[in-house]
Every structure is written in structure tokens, then in C-alpha cells.
Amino acid sequence: MKNLIKQLNYRFKNSSLLKLALTHRSYNDPNNERLEFLGDAVLNFCIAEKLFQEYPHYREGDLSRLRANLVNGEVLADLAKNLDLNKSLKMGAGELHSGGLERKSTLADTIEAIIGAIYLDGGIEACQQQITVWYADIFANIILRGVQKDPKTQLQEYVQAKKIPLPVYTLISIREYTDKPVFQVSCHIPTLSHMAKGKGSSRKRAEQAAAKGLLVLLGISE
């Protein structure tokens, strides 16, 4: 906790909020799920506000794609690793043995829970300051990365340009785990023989993974 507080560079007035943010549902109830819900909304707002101010010439679609790239699980998990969050997270024995401390979805959720805790403790300005520090390097390189369209958008634009039917996404299965369910989805274009599958912690993420796989099969993406 002491190391994490030093890394965060934020001093909680109510330290119990930070303790709650670091409590996985496998460890205890109450846990950090409600804070995660709040933090997700706060993070999306703060990133949206930052993009709105910094990039006045970007259209709504471009801003939405940039925000999606900045708040996805991979980015949040990397932020969590930089803070060594897995050393402070409280987790049940079963989850620990199954590698929960290294699970990207868990680390990403914990970052969101911490943001929710900071919001309750210090308000939106404290969150904006914290998120600006965390994202400093990412924002510094944002122009170099450009506005990357998500796989579903790329695939839809491809089929529309070719004037062929839209992709069809089919839910194959939902596998329940101790942490979160894993969705498996297939994606195919009715007039083509190609078909790809994708997995994710939500149906939306699974569809994105399947769309990306189909783009690779079509030679549009690597």
C-alpha cells in the first residue's frame, strides 16, 4: 500500500476507499466492482474531455476511435503493471492459484476501481490530474499513432466499398470462469467463404477480435 500510494502520487483523505478499490470480488464483499463501474465512466469522461480540448479539428468518429484505443483493456493493464498493482491487490486463494494477479482484465478493472475511488475522495479534478500523469507518454505519441479505426469499422467499410453483404456475427459460446465470462463469436461474410472466430471478456470485444481475424484472412490487416 505504501509503495502504491507513492506511485500514485495522490494522498487519500479516506484510505478505506483505496483499500476497497484493491479488493477483488474473490476476496471479500464488499469489493471493488461498484468502484470499477464508477471509474469506467469517469475515465471515459476525462479522456473524452482531454481529446475534445487537445484536438479541435478531429471529427466525432475520430474522437470516439481514439478514446476507445486509450481506454481499452490492454492500455489499462499496462498502466496497472507500471504501478505494480498486482503487489497490492487482495484476492481469494482460488483466484491467486489460477494466475489472477497477472490477468489483464483484472488489472484493468482495478485501475478503473482506483479512478472511482479517487473521484469519490477528491472529485473530478483530482481524477483529471491523475489520468493526465498516467497518460502523459501515450498522449505525447498520439499523433504518431494516428486515428486507428477499430476492426469492425474497417471490415464494414471494406464490404461497403465492395458492395457485398455486411458481416454476420454469431455468438458461439459463453464460458464462465471465476473472474469473468469469456465470449466466443464467429464472423463471416455471406458471399465469401472466409470465417474467423474471436474471444473476449464481452461480446463486443469478441466481435472485434473476430473482425480482426477476418481482416487478416482477407489480406487487409496483419
Provide the residue ranges of all domains of the chain, joining segments of one domain with +.
2-145, 151-217
Residue 60: helix, strand or coil by DSSP? helix
- What is the pLDDT at residue 18? 93
- What is the pLDDT at residue 52? 92
One of 40, 95, 109, 179 is an active-site residue; which one?
40
One of 95, 109, 112, 179 is an active-site residue; which one?
112
Closest CA to 73 of 101, 41, 40: 40
Query: pLDDT means per 10 residues in the chain (222 residues)?
Result: 79 92 88 94 95 84 84 89 85 80 87 96 94 84 60 87 91 80 92 90 91 90 64
Q: Which CATH architecture has domain 2-145?
A: Orthogonal Bundle (1.10)
Is 176 an active-site residue?
A: no
- What is the pLDDT at residue 214? 93
Q: Cis before residue 165, ω within 30 degrees of 0?
A: no
Give how far Cα 125 sits from Cα of 46, 109, 118, 217, Å.
9, 21, 10, 45
Give how far Cα 180 sits from Cα of 29, 61, 85, 172, Å.
17, 30, 19, 17
- What is the pLDDT at residue 84? 86
Beta-carbon contacts of residue 205 (< 8 Å; ≥ 6 apart): 73, 183
pTM over cut 0.75: no
- What is the pLDDT at residue 222? 59
- What is the pLDDT at residue 56? 81
Q: How many helices (H) and strands (E) does the chain have?
A: 12, 3
Is 102 an active-site residue?
A: no
- What is the pLDDT at residue 113? 95
- What is the pLDDT at residue 105? 87
**What is 151-217's CATH topology?**
Double Stranded RNA Binding Domain (3.30.160)
